[in-house]
Structure 1
């Protein structure tokens, strides 16, 4: 079997790296991890050794190289169908993909003003920046709808863990970091994601990383 290697950025800050990490861990496949520290003089050169786009994350599977978080997750879903990274029913799978791609391409205000800083606990003026409250409201309404319609069979957005949960995991950390309250109906989902063994492992590793001054 070809070796799987996932190249990721600093775990405290790289939301894009966390997403495919959780998806890959869910497959149960053994993989090697390469960590590239962000915001160092060597960062660009180190990433260029692995990534044609000059960004992380990157998945290597034998001779196949996949970049971009969503592309990696889709590749994993196709390569390891037994992991059921998407819901099986077509209408539910379509909903899960829609939710995921909205996260992938949207919520720019949230990304800009509330960057992922997993181990910090702070309040910032960014909470009052234009568009942030609208992004938070949309995200919570979107996720509540998923839980209400499709989450009865399990603790995740569509019952069982899926790529959609992986894509919103960094949002959970943002809400915790900046003190954004969760709707009551989302707390069990939050706890399920934070309790994933892969999420715990990622968080513990983030706690041991050097802190980047520009994020503090």
Structure 2
């Protein structure tokens, strides 16, 4: 039996994207399966993987179930310690963990008002004060990390911290949100990253459009 990662819709499941980028970019020997966001609920489709029945879910080769995205990332780092999912240096690793943890628990306004949708891009939309405040905080922590690392990634080489912020970069790009120049460069690095590009390309034809993720804003071409 091999390790198995269960993922949701490529276009819309931001938490699935985080876990999938780690498996794909670091070429981890983990089997991936997908479930649909149409028809039965996610929980109904994952009745054999309690207790949370959410995506992503990692099922280890011994049958153990890991159901939280940060726990999935940590478990992958434990399973494949030589892959370099976390930075090697203690200081860089500490910063990466702080960044991933803040992403995991924060930025509720951005995540609520700007659901990830890799199939469309919007323009001329005012995100409001709460989203703007999230963006200011993102600017601060990204600038802190990028100043130390020199870029293009937050803590040296691409790590769990970057995978966790990939859907944030997609939201900023997809909704045409205003950020600093250094943050814009970091977003551009994500949009150009081959693993992200491959995931997005597959998302364009991987199932139907889901109307609950569409917003009635003016649309434009996907940036880049």
Q: By the TM > 0.5 criterion, same fold?
A: yes
1:116 touches 1:170 (CA, 8 Å); kept in 2? yes
**Structure 1 unaligned residues grouped into runs of 5+:** none
Please name the residue that 1:44 is paired with.
43
What number of residue pairs does the alignment pair up?
A: 212
Selected match of 1:212 from 210, 213, 216? 210
Q: Secondary structure at the match of 1:131?
A: helix
Matches within 5 A, 1:1-216: 2-63=1-62, 64-123=64-123, 127-128=127-128, 130-150=129-149, 152=150, 155-208=152-205, 209-216=207-214
Please give the alpha-carbon distance, in whole angstroms, between the structure 1 residues aligned to 2:166 and 2:158.
11
Q: How far is the alpha carbon of 1:214 from its aligned partner?
A: 1.3
Structure 2 length normalisation: TM-score? 0.87
Please give the alpha-carbon distance, in whole angstroms, between the structure 1 residues aligned to 2:167 and 2:126.
17
2:59 touches 2:66 (CA, 8 Å); kept in 1? yes
Q: Secondary structure at the match of 1:52?
A: coil
Higher mean C-alpha deviation, range 193-202 or range 108-117: 193-202
CA RMSD in angstroms comes to: 1.9
Higher mean C-alpha deviation, range 6-15 or range 175-184: 175-184
1:47 touches 1:56 (CA, 8 Å); kept in 2? no
Please give the alpha-carbon distance, in whole angstroms, between the structure 2 residues aligned to 1:123 and 1:38.
26
Q: How far is the alpha carbon of 1:160 from its aligned partner?
A: 0.2
Q: How far is the alpha carbon of 1:116 from its aligned partner?
A: 0.7
Higher mean C-alpha deviation, range 95-104 or range 196-205: 196-205
**In the superposition, relative to structure 1, how do residues 4 and 104 fare at CA in structure 2: closer, same or farther (>3 Å)?**
same
Please give the alpha-carbon distance, in whole angstroms, between the structure 2 residues aligned to 1:51 and 1:9.
16
Please give the alpha-carbon distance, in whole angstroms, between the structure 1 residues aligned to 2:45 and 2:166.
26
Please give the alpha-carbon distance, in whole angstroms, between the structure 1 residues aligned to 2:56 and 2:213.
20
Per-residue deviation, residues 40-81 of structure 1 (Å, max 9, x unmatched): 235432132334202111112202321111001001111111
Please give the alpha-carbon distance, in whole angstroms, between the structure 2 residues aligned to 1:21 and 1:196.
14
Please give the alpha-carbon distance, in whole angstroms, between the structure 2 residues aligned to 1:58 and 1:110.
24
1:58 touches 1:67 (CA, 8 Å); kept in 2? yes
Q: How far is the alpha carbon of 1:149 from its aligned partner?
A: 1.0
Q: List, as ranges, runs of 4+ consecutive aligned residues in structure 1 with deviation greater than 4 Å.
A: 123-126
Q: How far is the alpha carbon of 1:126 from its aligned partner?
A: 6.8
